[in-house]
A and B are shown apart, each in its own frame.
Chain A
Amino acid sequence: MTSSTLEKPRRRPLGTPTALAARHPWTTLLAFTLVTAVAAVGLGRLQETDDVLEFIPPGDPDVKVFNDVNAKFGALRVALIGVEAPAGDDVFAPETLSRIERATEALKSVHGVDRVISLSSLVDFAPADGAVQVVPLVPELPRSAVDRAALKARVLSREHVVGSFVSPDGRAALLLVFLAPPKPGTQVSLRRVAHELHQAAEGAFAGGRLRMFYGGAPFAAATIFEETQEDARRLTPLAMLCILLVIVLAFRDPVGVALTVLTVAWAVVAVLGVMGFLGEPYTVVSSTLPVILFASGSSYAVHLLGRYYALGGRDGGPGVVEAAAEVVTPPVVIAGCTTGAGFLSFVVMDIRPMRTFGVECAAGVFLCLLAALLLVPAVVTLWPRRAAQPAELGRVGEGLKRVGLWSVRSRRWLLAGSVVAALATVGPMFEVEVRMEPHNFFRPGSEPWLAEHFLDERFGGSQFLQVSLAGDLTDPATLREAQRLAQFARAQPGVTQVSSIVGPLALLSDAMGLGHGLPETHGQAVNLLFFIEGEPSLRSLLTPDRHEALLHIRVRGDAQPATQAMERYLESRHLDARLGGRRPNPPTDAEVAERMGWILKAAGVNAPGEQTTEAVRRLRSLPAEDASLGEVRRQAALAVLRGEGGILEPIADQALAERIAGLAARAFSSGGAGGPKDQDQAVDEAQRALAGALPSPEDVETVWPGLAERIRDADRRHRAARAVESMAAHHELPAPVAAELRETLLDLLPLQTLGPAPAPLVARIAGEPVLERGLSRSVAKNQTRSLIVSLVAVLGFMFLLFRSARLAFLSVYPSALTMAIVFGVMGLGGMRIDIGTSLVASIATGAGSDFAMHYLWYLRRSTHEEVARFVGPIMVISTLLVAFGFAILGFGKAQPMRLFGFLAAAAMALAAGLTFVLVPALIGEPGGPAESARLGGASGLTAQDGAESKEMVS
């Protein structure tokens, strides 16, 4: 060190905050200690929230529908627990069933659980011995291999069970745990519930050979929160270590290192303390605050200390820290403002926790700045430090000088190249898709990730598209419209399963011996619903007031094609909520033919439309007096008279029963040769005969409607069967498909007159694919908004500093080019933007511009060569700090933060690199005072600073 060349720093006048802190170091330290103590109290009050649903923007129309549907049906309050038997086994082993039962009971006992549905809690409606048996689906544990096979066959034959609670191959089972809505004004920790559910399930399945899977929103939210927390615990020390290493290598002064870390640590404690006092919850993103502040807030102390060391430290005499601050303060303050503005730009986002996070980060940055300008001077005044600069920094400076000179020499090529690069990125940049796929938040190998793969593999998909239906769901025409919608959905690509209220109604109707069709009157619908309302699984299909229903469409793979098809369908049927909905009418012949086509398509049968139309034509054209029909009616009447169907007590006299049956069959042979008069006579005769057979003749009025209905029902079923038979000539129809075709045809021959619905049916699309679309739209919008705000703010601050539009633009140019390149590369690589990566642009615009700003600031006082050699190393250190800080987030478990960390680090490094290369080129030929004057700089400090800088690296 050649101190002879160094002008002694003069004592600066008291007036700046730094000078004040340096003059009153103990007071400053006391003030910081007091603030820390108060913040610690606030820290103790800090409440954490694990509600990741707060990250769903409330304003988007798709998201509004999703939230509304979720509030009514609780789709996001369902935890899925899957069990998978080893290869070659199934879940019908007694031990497995017993464990499922134990788990069901244990899960039900967890506070916050509304209901649990599993193989052991499901009931089965089975007709037996003239009654409907309401029995558990698994009435008892199988005692033998035969029992087990029979049970498996029975369970796998239940449409409403397979694919929902047991996999089609029987190897896997699902337990659905519905969480209760929280009491008004209270918050339930999803993580606590998820943790207890996990424990309960593990307890029940411990020691078995089953693989367990934990999916659904509660487990996913808990996993995301816990992984983020773990990242914060793991990565914060790592970030500190990284920063320590960089600063140790740069300054070789432990106190300097400790001071740098202290400024950030103090800021973190202060921000969290204020959050505690304000009652602002500590969210998933808040946990990244320490790492982000270590990355973006440590450079202020570095700049000040770097200058302090450069001026000789304690060897520089009294007032050296004020002298250092005088040069460093303006750019460092502007750097704090621009970085803070980058974070503060989040306030324009429509996601509340992100807005808060932006404010937290910005406040943290300003506090880091404050600590750098006050705490550091106070400490080094009390305990002055020796200047300690390693020779490596000198070499870095020399290297940067050469880069700068080369840059100036090649300025035309470089500038042209940068323009070409910027232009080249335009196309790919617009190719970058913003796609918020919630499942991408799951770390490969994490519980939700495994659960998703399990559902895809065993249950035909993990995504659910939903259609919310509002109308009178007890109206027969409305129910048929819902059924039509379900049949259309099932025929769409990727759709593996559709469940809705029509399924349980048809199943119950069948079990009651009322036919496998939908109710034909409002009263019938209510009668049937009475039996299943309150049944746990129904509550996710129909609201208690029966005015809203939900159609669950399970999709494997990309759900967007099916979503779009459903939207087009709803629009074409005028059911779309935006069109106001429509009052459903009873189905027409053409509509039924169309529905039959969808049923066949879903079953993989490729039938031309003419075949279904022909089937409908045959249904209509079967002669009323077809010989077989007469016998069908007679048999139906006979069955009723034998007591089947619960219409009357059996008639013991067989001959009498036969006679009444014959008369009743004739009474319903509409269109017969005798005409209506003959028919009326037959009705009279049949009723008289029946009255004579009943214990009380007046009971005929009670039982006749039931008898009539049974006969007419048998008649129409026979017709439908004949019509479907006509199709069997063309295709081999599986029995369930043929049955569904028959039931669909029955809509054209209702027993009761079907009228138009009393209320319109209004449909809205919801579910995960729609949420994804809404989130994507929100993220794209937020990114654009925050980027614009950040850019305008940064340009404003730069203008304030330089009082020059040109220099303000030059400061922003490298970071703007950086963003163009980063997004261009993302576009070329087919990478997508998510909530994490969408933050990079505004942060990088703010923090990335600081490099160029610092360069230009010093360039106003010195030459390229000197700036590169003497200030460049400090900039490299701060670049390394920022880049390493962000890169550390990339090593976390939380997926959204991983890509954000790497991308932000790359952007920062690139912005710094472009600054060193482009700024000299943009400024032009190297020069001393002339150039400085051109840049509008004051020359007062140049000689001294140059001398100091030379001293620093000599």
Chain B
Amino acid sequence: MKRSLSVSVSMVLWAATGGLLVGAGTARAAETAAEILKLTDEAQNNYQDLTLESTMLIREPGQQNAREINFVTISKGKDKRLVRFTGPGDFKGMGFLVENRDTMYVLLPAFGNRVRRLGTHVKAQGFQGSDASYDDMATTQYTGIYEPKLVATEADAWVLELTLLPGKQAESPRLKVWVDKNTHHQVTRIEYYDDKGQKQRTQIRTNFKKDEGNGEHYTPEWIKFIDHRRNDHTTELHTTKAQVNTGVADDVFTQRSLQRGS
């Protein structure tokens, strides 16, 4: 059964894939939709390890104050992820270790610092009522999943329409993606459409900055998720620090490391 369920446990997957919201590479001339998409995919996956400090801001309609959740995500390779929550006070000390998409460990500081293994096959629709889905963050590349078509060329961006390939599964059957021409093939905007062509959500990425460290890697300072179905309910992700290829050791990704908080 295709799933798109809302479970906060999957936050770890969500947060851990924050590093995928990046771009790298050079602004090469691209002529076809497939070429543009390929360059975009390359830009998103160009790192060995990545450390991001982020704040998620969840804004309820009509409310000025947003709920804030702060966390650090350390990623290495395709699978290894460690997430530590640094705020608010209630969440501070909690953490996750992701072994793979289906298995993770959670640290429960209030229960004698216990670590529990969580087996999950559930995709997250949202974390803490946010508008970002697991698919938003976990999709590391579009090539091979979507068929691209160049539908417009704007002054600063190519607009690709991506249609889900037969036999492939994703939350949205059709996407419209804006790829910036000037800044290293960054995806600056994604619109998600349902099978009837109705726009369901929009993701806007702004203020790309080159990450600290040894690599050509760019992270958007702000990502805004808007769910139009929820009357434009909004979630923002603010990345305050991004470091790439700093030589994160493998033993960071162990249960013991999780438990000891180091």
Contact = CB atoms under 8 A, between A and B. Distances in A.
Interface of A: 98, 101, 105, 108-115, 120-123, 128-136, 138-141, 180-184, 186, 188, 474, 512-514, 519, 521-524, 526-527, 530-536, 539, 544, 645-647, 649, 695, 699, 702-703, 705-709
Interface in B197-233: 198, 200, 228-233
B260 interface: yes
Nearest to B9: A134
B117 A131 contact: yes
A705 B112 contact: yes
A141 B3 CA distance: 12
10 contacts: A123-B7, A131-B103, A132-B117, A136-B1, A138-B1, A140-B1, A184-B61, A531-B8, A544-B58, A705-B112
B240 interface: no
Given A114-B233, A132-B118, A534 B130 contact: yes
Contacts of B113: 702-703, 705-706
Contacts of A524: 110-111
Contacts of B1: 98, 101, 120, 136, 138-141
Contacts of A707: 112
Contact of A180 (B10, B108, B118, B233): B233
A519 B113 CA distance: 15
Contacts of A706: 111-114
Interface stretch (B39-47, B119-127, B156-164, B181-189): B119-127
Nearest to A524: B110
Contacts of B5: 121-123, 136
B115 A646 contact: yes
B63 to A, nearest CB: 9
A521 B110 contact: yes
B67 interface: yes
A534 B116 contact: no
A522 B130 CA distance: 24
B229 A135 contact: no
A183 to B, nearest CB: 5
Contacts of A521: 110
Contact of B117 (A98, A122, A130, A135): A130
Contact of B129 (A141, A186, A523, A534): A534
Interface string B54-84: 0000101110000100000000000000000
Question: For the side of the interface on B, what is the size category?
Answer: 35 or more
Nearest to A537: B6
A112 B233 CA distance: 10
A253 B107 CA distance: 90
B119 A131 contact: yes
A906 B129 CA distance: 55
Given A114-B230, A123-B7, A139-B121, A544 B128 contact: yes
- Secondary structure at the B interface, as helix, strand, loop or mixed, is loop
Nearest to B126: A534
A138 to B, nearest CB: 7
Given A134-B9, A182-B61, A533-B128, 19 more contacts: A101-B1, A111-B228, A121-B5, A122-B5, A131-B103, A132-B118, A135-B121, A136-B122, A180-B233, A181-B231, A186-B231, A524-B111, A526-B91, A527-B109, A532-B7, A534-B128, A646-B117, A703-B112, A709-B112
B94 interface: yes
Contacts of B106: 531
Most chain B Cβ neighbours within 10 Å, of A113, A132, A539: A132
A135 B10 CA distance: 11
B17 interface: no
B126 A188 contact: no
Contact of A645 (B58, B60, B110, B114): B114
B239 interface: no
A473 to B, nearest CB: 12
B67 A544 contact: yes
A536 B119 CA distance: 20
Contacts of B127: 534
Contacts of A134: 7, 9-10, 118-122
Nearest to B88: A526
B251 interface: no
Interface of B: 1-10, 58, 60-62, 67, 90-91, 94, 103, 106, 108-122, 126-130, 194, 196, 198, 200, 228-233, 255-256, 259-260
A134 B10 CA distance: 9
A415 to B, nearest CB: 64
Contact of B94 (A108, A113, A527): A527
Contact of A526 (B110, B231, B233): B110
Contact of B122 (A123, A513, A526): A123
A133 B116 CA distance: 10
B111 A514 contact: yes
Nearest to A185: B62
Q: Which 7 A-B pairs have the closest CB atoms?
A: A523-B110, A706-B112, A131-B117, A134-B120, A180-B230, A184-B62, A534-B128
Contacts of B126: 534
B90 to A, nearest CB: 4
B229 A534 contact: no
B29 to A, nearest CB: 38
A647 to B, nearest CB: 6
B14 to A, nearest CB: 11
Nearest to A178: B230
A323 B47 CA distance: 100
A120 B1 CA distance: 9
A707 B61 CA distance: 45
Contact of B116 (A123, A132, A180): A132
A523 B90 CA distance: 7
B72 to A, nearest CB: 16
A183 B62 contact: yes
Nearest to A112: B231
Contacts of A535: 6-8
A895 to B, nearest CB: 31
Given A524-B110, A702-B113, A706-B113, A109 B194 contact: yes
Nearest to B67: A544
Contacts of A98: 1
A544 B57 CA distance: 13
B233 A539 contact: no
A707 B255 CA distance: 17
A714 to B, nearest CB: 14
A113 B6 CA distance: 14
Contacts of A101: 1-2
A136 B121 contact: yes
A534 to B, nearest CB: 4
A755 to B, nearest CB: 16
Contacts of B130: 534
Contacts of A130: 117
A514 B115 CA distance: 12
A180 B226 CA distance: 13
Most chain A Cβ neighbours within 10 Å, of B58, B103, B114: B114
A708 B112 CA distance: 9
Given A534-B130, A647-B112, A132 B6 contact: no
Contact of B231 (A188, A647, A695, A708): A188
A532 B112 CA distance: 20
Contacts of A115: 6
Contacts of A513: 116
B206 to A, nearest CB: 22
Given A128-B119, A527-B94, A183 B9 contact: no
A519 B120 CA distance: 24
Given A135-B121, A136-B122, A705-B113, A111 B67 contact: no
B232 A183 contact: yes
Given A133-B120, A140-B1, A534-B128, A527 B108 contact: yes
B198 A109 contact: yes
B8 to A, nearest CB: 5
B120 A135 contact: yes
Contacts of A129: 119
Contact of A512 (B116, B120, B233): B116
A216 B62 CA distance: 24
